[in-house]
Amino acid sequence: MKALVLIAHGSKRSLSNEEFVDLVNKIKNKDENFSEIEAAFLELATPSIQSVAKKFISQSIKKIYFYPYFLNSGKHVSVDLPDILNELKEEYPTIDFVLLKHFGSSDRISDIILDDISLSL
């Protein structure tokens, strides 16, 4: 079994966090690849990345993918998330933790933006 954790920064503003959770639920409803999909936050909101990973591990999931929902490859993407996954790997050496490329690295974003703009014209 494999699981997916979608990661957002987290906000003090609950509406922002709820919007991300709604997006994750839409993804979960459309997905056919993962046995479990959950939202997690790097900071300022819950659940944390670590708590979601530990929940999946308690469900006997052996491979967990992490998708950073971040536009740019700043410190959180290039340092903080790899550090968190390395800590999890040390604590759970039999689990396969996979950090995927962040959202902003997708080649399809420009198409989505142009499509959205054309719909507004």
Domain limits of the chain? 2-120
Instruction: Please compute the mean of the pLDDT values over residues 113-117 and round it to a whole number.
Output: 96
pLDDT tier at 74 (50, 70, 90 boundaries)? very high
Compute the distance between CA of residue 8 and CA of residue 71 in angstroms, rounded to an integer. Answer: 10
What is the CATH topology of the domain spanning 2-120?
Rossmann fold (3.40.50)
Q: Which two tokens stand for residue 78?
A: 């290039």
> What does pLDDT average to over the chain?
97
SS3 content of the chain, % helix, strand, coil (to 5): 50, 20, 30
